[in-house]
Structure 1
Amino acid sequence: MANEPVVLLGNEEESAYIRKRLIEFNAEHVPENLSSRFEEINLTIKDDSGKVIGGLLSTLCWNWIEVEILWVEESQRGLGYGSHLLHQIERIAKEKGCTFIKLNTFSFQAPEFYQKNAYIEVAVFKDAPLGSNHYYFKKAIF
């Protein structure tokens, strides 16, 4: 029987190496015109004084955009800023030839908001975190 491998916490350099190797592997299995597509796309909304009151952080990868964070200052919610951010990233996704947008949210955040904006629930993890649900959404881009 082989010896058990030693598993250690990796440092930043080792993490970068592992990420690079997986990206190289993935590139061999993705159409060439998509293999190098990776781009951060971040949007902000500012008030008249220049203060950031909302934003959307996302990554374009291959043929989709993943929205990682959408946030609007609590006092500014319900004014359409979140929907405006979604519409902007959808426009960008279309311009860049993406076929869908994916994102996730928790039950204590905004699943109804995404449904209202035509995002389709594709998965849910119950009790993640305990007492809440973790939702995954997708919207096709035409």
Structure 2
Amino acid sequence: MEFHIVNDPNADDIMDVRRGLIAFNDPFVEDAQDIDVGLYAVDDAGKRVGGIVSKIWGNWMYIRFLWVDPVSSEKGIGTQLMQQMETYAIEQGCHSAWVDTLSFQAKPFYEKCGYQCQMTLDDYPVAHQLHFLTKKLVDTSG
């Protein structure tokens, strides 16, 4: 057997591994919904000034990307995007959400939105931290 290291693998290289992983996972999660969702804030001129891209997988929403134009950052657009995406996730059957963010990004913002830090990786990727935060969207205790 040989092993090959490939720097910057192409899309086919990545899909080979992904297809194998999907085939392994399918018997365990084949009934879980898997939806990519985008929500965008558009100003009066039709320009996107913010957006959030999430993945709903099963009963969880993962916030992949959140961006607000710095010029519009004090207008509450980020909070509105979060609220609307969380509402949509609940409508899709999600009970919880999670997000990861670097220490120089938006941890205080997510905490203000009700997310709690579950884990932190130090010195990631070199001199910062990577935080993993979660939030219960609906009470499942009862």
Return the TM-score normalized by structure 2: 0.87
1:131 Cα offset (Å): 3.0
SS of match in other structure, 1:29 = helix
Aligned to 1:7: 4
Aligned to 1:125: 121
Greater shift in the superposed pair: 114-123 or 8-17: 8-17
The residue correspondences of 1:27-46 to structure 2 (distance < 5 A) are 27-30=26-29, 32-34=30-32, 37-46=33-42
Please give the per-residue CA displacement for 1:104-127, whole angstroms capped at 9, x wherever unaligned.
Answer: 111111111100110010111112
AA aligned to 1:48 is: D
Structure 1: distance between partners of 2:62 and 2:48: 22
- Give the alignment partner of residue 112 of structure 1, picking from 108, 111, 117: 108
AA aligned to 2:12 is: E
How many residues are matched?
136
Aligned to 1:136: 132
Which consecutive residues of structure 1, in runs of 5 or more, have no partner in the other structure?
A: none
Which consecutive residues of structure 2, in runs of 5 or more, have no partner in the other structure?
A: none
AA aligned to 1:33 is: D
Structure 2: distance between partners of 1:103 and 1:109: 12
Instruction: Please state if 1:70 is matched with 2:66.
Output: yes
1:12 Cα offset (Å): 2.0
Please give the per-residue CA displacement for 1:45-102, whole angstroms capped at 9, x wherever unaligned.
Answer: 0111011100001111122111111010001112111011111111111011112111
Aligned to 2:47: 51
Return the TM-score normalized by structure 1: 0.87
RMSD: 1.5
Structure 2: distance between partners of 1:134 and 1:28: 31
Greater shift in the superposed pair: 68-77 or 19-28: 19-28
Structure 2: distance between partners of 1:128 and 1:33: 34
1:13 Cα offset (Å): 2.1
AA aligned to 1:111 is: K
